[in-house]
C-alpha cells in the first residue's frame, strides 16, 4: 500500500525536488519504485515552462485517473490508489485543474512539498480504517514558509549530487512563467549548503551541481561582497575547500551580472569543471530587449571570450528560443551567426510558447508555427554539426571521466562524464563507479564519446 512512484518533468531543479520528496518518504517507511505499474501512489512533479510540458503532465494525469477508476480491487494486479500533481504546473494552473481532474488526491505547488508525507500518512490511515478519508490536499502558496524545503535530502550514496542553493527568481524575462511558478528569489544560508556538501563528500559524493534559477545572483541581498568577490564566488571557494569533492558544476548563471570574479574561478579553482551552461536566448539585441534579458549580444560574446581566456578548454551550452514575438528573419540570422561564432558544444532550442500572464503573451504569438519549426530545424542541424566536430577533436585524447553508472545499452558498458560534461561510454565494471578514470577516446558521435579506460 505504500509503494510510491515519482515521475519528474522539466529541469534539474525538479529532479532535485523529486529526490528530496523521495528521501522524506523513504524516511517514513514508504518504498520508492521505478515502475509505475508497481505503485500504489503516483506523484507527478510537473513543469510549466512551455505549454507542451504542461499538456504532457495533464494528459498523463487524466490517463492515470481513468485507469484508477477502471481497476477493481478484485484484480490481483496492483491498484493505483493515489495520484498527486506537484511542482510548477500545479502551481501555475492551480485550483482550476481540479475541475478537469476532480479525483486528484494532492495538488501541491513548488513550495509545500514537505506537506506531502503527512497527507499520504493520513490517506494510509484511512485505508486501514483508522480515520476519515482526507479531502484533496491543495497547497499553492508560493511563500516559502519552511527552510526545510531548501535542505538537501540526498538518497544515500551518490557519485554526483544536485544541491539547491536558492529558490525562486526575481528577473522578469518577458516570456517566462518561472517567477510565477517558483516565487521570489531567496538564498539558502551558505553555512547550510557547505554543511550539506561536507556530508555528501563523507558518503562518497565526488561531484556537486549547484542549482538555482540564477546562481550568479546567489545571496546578493543576504551577504556582502568580500575583497571584490560576490557571495556566489565566496560559496564556490568554500565548496572548493571541501575534501573529497573533486568536481563542482552549477546551473544556470545569467549572462548579466557575470563578473570577472566568477570568470577568474575558471582559472583559479581546478575543481570547477570547464563547462558552463549560459543561456543566451537570442542573438539579436532587439529581441533580447523585448525579452528583457538586460544584456546585449556583444556583452554575451565578451563573457564567452573572457571565459575562454581564463580556461582555453572551456565548453559552452546554451538555451535558445526561436519565434519570440517580433522575431524577424533578420533577428534570427543574428542568432544563427552567434551560434556559429560561439560553437556551442550543446544547446537546448525551444520554439516560443505563449505563457499566459507573461509580458510576451501581450505581444501576441506573431511568428507562424511553420516559421518557428524551420528556425528550430536550422539550429538543430547547426548544433549537430558543431557538436560532432567538437567531439571529434577529442578522439585520441585522454579524458578524465567520473564514472556514474552502467549505461543503459549494454551490461558491461559504463557511463560517466568528462569535465566538459560530455557523456563518455567505455567497457567497465561496478568497481569503477565513483572513480575518476582516465579514458582514452576512440570514437565520437554528436552526443557521446566512446573509449577505453586506461587504469
Residue 350 interface partner, choices ligand SF4, ligand 5AD, none, CB cut-off 5-8 Å depending on type: ligand 5AD
Terminus-to-terminus CA distance in the chain, angstroms? Answer: 46
Q: What are phi and psi of 166, to 5 degrees?
A: -160, 165
Mark out the alpha helices in 102-170 (DSSP H runs): 116-127
H or E segment to which residue 444 belongs: strand 436-444
Residue 155 or residue 368: which is nearer to ligand 5AD going by CB? 368
Residue 11 binds to ligand SF4 (criterion: CB under 6 A): yes
Residue 30 or residue 350: which is nearer to ligand 5AD going by CB? 350
Q: What is the total count of residues that contact ligand 5AD (CB under 6 A)?
A: 12
Residue 176 binds to ligand 5AD (criterion: CB under 6 A): yes
C-alpha cell at 59: 494528459
Q: Using CB under 6 A, which residues numbered 84 to 113 contact ligand SF4? A: 87-88
The one segment of 42-50, 122-130, 259-267, 335-343 that binds ligand SF4 by CB under 6 A: 42-50
What's the gap between Cα 154 and its chain centre?
Answer: 16
Q: Is the dihedral of CA 21, 26, 28, 29 positive or negative?
A: positive
Q: How far is the CB of 301 from ligand SF4 (least distance, A)?
A: 26
CA–CA distance, 36 with 38 (Å, rounded to integer): 5
Q: What angle do CA 243, 18, 108 make, to 5 degrees?
A: 135
Residue 91 or residue 282: which is nearer to ligand SF4 going by CB? 91
- Binding to ligand 5AD by CB under 6 A, coded x per residue (else -) over 304-323, reads ---------------x-x--
- Binding to ligand SF4 by CB under 6 A, coded x per residue (else -) over 181-200, reads xx------------------
Residue 355 binds to ligand 5AD (criterion: CB under 6 A): yes
Look at residue 417 and give its three-state secondary structure. strand
Select the residue interacting with ligand SF4 from 4, 5, 6, 13 (CB under 6 A). 13
Residue 14 binds to ligand SF4 (criterion: CB under 6 A): yes
Q: How far is the CB of 348 from ligand SF4 (least distance, A)?
A: 10
Cell 500533481 -> residue: 85
Q: How far is the CB of 211 from ligand SF4 (least distance, A)?
A: 10
What's the gap between Cα 152 and its chain centre?
Answer: 15
Residue 179 or residue 428: which is nearer to ligand 5AD going by CB? 179
CA–CA distance, 345 with 322 (Å, rounded to integer): 19
Residue 14 interface partner, choices ligand 5AD, ligand SF4, none, CB cut-off 5-8 Å depending on type: ligand SF4
Residue 10 binds to ligand SF4 (criterion: CB under 6 A): yes
Residue 284 or residue 418: which is nearer to ligand 5AD going by CB? 284
Q: Using CB under 6 A, which residues numbered 25 to 54 contact ligand 5AD? A: 49-50
Whether the CB-CB separation of 97 and 90 falls below 8 Å is answered with yes
Select the residue interacting with ligand SF4 from 47, 174, 272, 287 (CB under 6 A). 47
Who contacts 309 (Cβ-Cβ below 8 Å, separation ≥6)?
none
Q: Which of 95, 90, 94, 218 is nearest to 150 (CA)?
A: 218
Look at residue 168 and give its three-state secondary structure. coil
Question: Closest residue to ligand SF4, Cβ-based?
Answer: 10
Q: How far is the CB of 439 from ligand 5AD (least distance, A)?
A: 31
Q: Which of 348, 275, 358 is nearest to 318 (CA)?
A: 348
- Binding to ligand 5AD by CB under 6 A, coded x per residue (else -) over 267-286, reads ------------x-x-----
Q: How far is the CB of 176 from ligand 5AD (least distance, A)?
A: 5
Q: How far is the CB of 17 from ligand SF4 (least distance, A)?
A: 8
String of DSSP letters for 349-399:
EEE----TTSTGGGG---S-HHHHHHHHHHHHHHHHHHHHHHHHTTTTSEE
- Helices 231-240, 190-202: crossing angle, 10 deg rounding: 20
Whether the CB-CB separation of 355 and 315 falls below 8 Å is answered with no
User: 250 forms bridges with which residues in the sheet?
Assistant: 210
Residue 175 binds to ligand 5AD (criterion: CB under 6 A): yes
Q: Name the residues that contact ligand 5AD, by CB under 6 A.
A: 49-50, 175-176, 279, 281, 319, 321, 350, 352-353, 355
Q: Name the residues that contact ligand SF4, by CB under 6 A.
A: 10-11, 13-14, 47-49, 87-88, 178, 181-182
Amino acid at each position: 500500500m505504500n509503494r510510491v512512484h515519482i515521475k519528474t518533468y522539466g529541469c534539474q531543479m525538479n529532479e532535485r525536488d523529486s529526490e528530496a520528496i523521495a528521501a522524506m518518504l523513504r524516511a517514513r517507511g514508504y518504498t520508492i519504485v521505478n515502475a509505475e505499474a508497481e505503485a500504489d501512489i503516483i506523484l507527478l512533479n510537473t513543469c510549466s515552462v512551455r505549454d507542451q510540458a504542461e499538456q504532457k503532465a495533464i494528459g498523463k494525469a487524466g490517463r492515470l485517473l481513468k485507469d484508477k477508476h477502471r481497476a477493481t480491487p478484485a484484480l490481483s494486479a496492483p491498484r493505483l490508489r493515489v495520484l498527486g500533481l506537484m511542482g510548477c504546473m500545479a502551481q501555475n494552473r492551480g485550483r482550476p485543474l481540479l475541475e478537469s481532474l476532480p479525483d486528484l488526491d494532492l495538488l501541491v505547488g513548488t513550495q509545500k512539498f514537505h506537506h506531502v508525507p503527512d497527507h499520504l500518512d493520513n490517506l494510509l490511515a484511512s485505508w486501514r480504517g483508522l480515520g476519515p478519508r482526507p479531502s484533496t490536499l491543495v497547497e499553492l502558496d508560493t511563500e516559502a514558509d519552511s527552510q526545510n524545503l531548501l535542505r538537501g535530502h540526498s538518497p544515500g550514496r551518490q557519485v554526483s549530487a544536485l544541491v539547491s542553493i536558492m529558490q525562486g527568481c526575481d528577473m522578469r524575462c518577458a516570456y517566462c512563467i518561472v517567477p510565477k511558478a517558483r516565487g521570489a528569489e531567496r538564498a539558502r544560508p551558505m553555512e547550510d549548503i557547505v554543511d550539506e556538501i561536507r556530508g555528501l563528500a563523507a558518503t562518497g559524493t565526488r561531484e556537486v551541481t549547484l542549482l538555482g534559477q540564477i546562481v550568479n545572483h546567489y545571496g546578493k541581498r543576504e551577504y556582502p561582497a568580500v575583497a571584490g568577490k560576490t557571495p556566489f564566488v565566496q560559496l564556490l571557494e568554500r565548496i572548493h575547500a571541501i575534501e573529497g569533492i573533486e568536481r563542482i558544476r552549477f546551473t544556470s548563471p545569467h549572462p548579466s551580472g557575470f563578473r570577472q570574479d566568477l570568470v577568474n574561478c575558471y582559472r583559479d579553482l581546478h575543481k570547477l569543471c570547464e563547462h558552463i551552461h549560459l543561456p543566451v536566448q537570442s542573438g539579436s539585441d532587439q529581441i533580447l530587449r523585448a525579452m528583457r534579458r538586460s544584456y546585449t549580444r556583444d556583452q554575451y560574446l565578451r563573457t564567452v571570450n573572457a571565459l575562454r581566456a581564463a580556461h582555453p578548454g572551456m565548453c559552452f551550452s546554451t538555451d535558445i528560443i526561436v519565434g519570440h514575438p517580433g522575431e524577424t528573419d533578420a533577428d534570427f540570422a543574428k542568432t544563427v551567426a552567434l551560434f556559429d561564432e560561439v560553437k556551442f558544444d550543446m544547446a537546448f532550442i525551444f520554439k516560443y510558447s505563449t505563457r499566459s500572464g507573461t509580458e510576451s503573451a501581450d505581444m501576441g504569438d506573431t511568428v507562424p508555427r511553420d516559421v518557428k519549426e524551420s528556425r528550430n530545424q536550422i539550429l538543430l542541424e547547426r548544433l549537430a554539426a558543431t557538436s560532432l566536430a567538437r567531439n571529434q577533436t577529442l578522439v585520441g585524447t585522454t579524458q578524465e571521466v567520473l564514472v556514474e553508472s552502467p549505461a543503459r545499452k549494454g551490461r558491461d558498458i559504463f557511463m560517466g562524464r568528462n569535465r566538459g560534461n560530455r557523456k563518455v561510454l567505455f567497457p567497465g565494471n561496478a568497481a569503477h563507479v565513483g572513480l575518476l578514470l582516465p579514458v582514452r577516446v576512440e570514437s565520437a558521435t554528436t552526443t557521446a564519446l566512446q573509449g577505453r579506460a586506461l587504469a
